[in-house]
Amino acid sequence: MTITTLDTLDLGATATIANASGDEAALLRAMGLREGAEIRVRRVEPCIVEAGHARVGLSAVLTPSIEVAVSA
């Protein structure tokens, strides 16, 4: 597994949330983007990820602060 940030993922990539830091971390967890949650990138710019059956749009300000684990 390689740790990277969400803004580096390509369209269709799947990953696991490793760490969400910053002011919005609690909100991200409550919206389903908690550590260990599997996500899929539905759109890169602007960033839309799918966690479970929920789609979440993320401001470009936030994506560099979300660490994800991807299969090497």
Question: Which residues bind to another protein, rule: CB under 8 A?
Answer: 24, 26-32, 34-37, 42-43, 45-46, 48, 50-62
Which CB, 51 or 70, lies closer to another protein? 51
Phi first, then psi, for residue 41 (nearest 5°) are: -80, 115
Nearer to another protein (CB atom), residue 13 or residue 32: 32
CB 31 to another protein: min, Å = 6
Q: If we measure between CA atoms, which residue out of 51, 70, 55, 58 comes closest to residue 24?
A: 58
Q: Shortest gap between Cβ of 1 and another protein (angstroms)?
A: 17
Q: Which of 41, 33, 39, 37 is nearest to 10 (CA)?
A: 41
User: Least distance to another protein from the beta carbon of 11, Å?
Assistant: 10
In the structure encoding, which two tokens stand for residue 46, read together? 């602007």
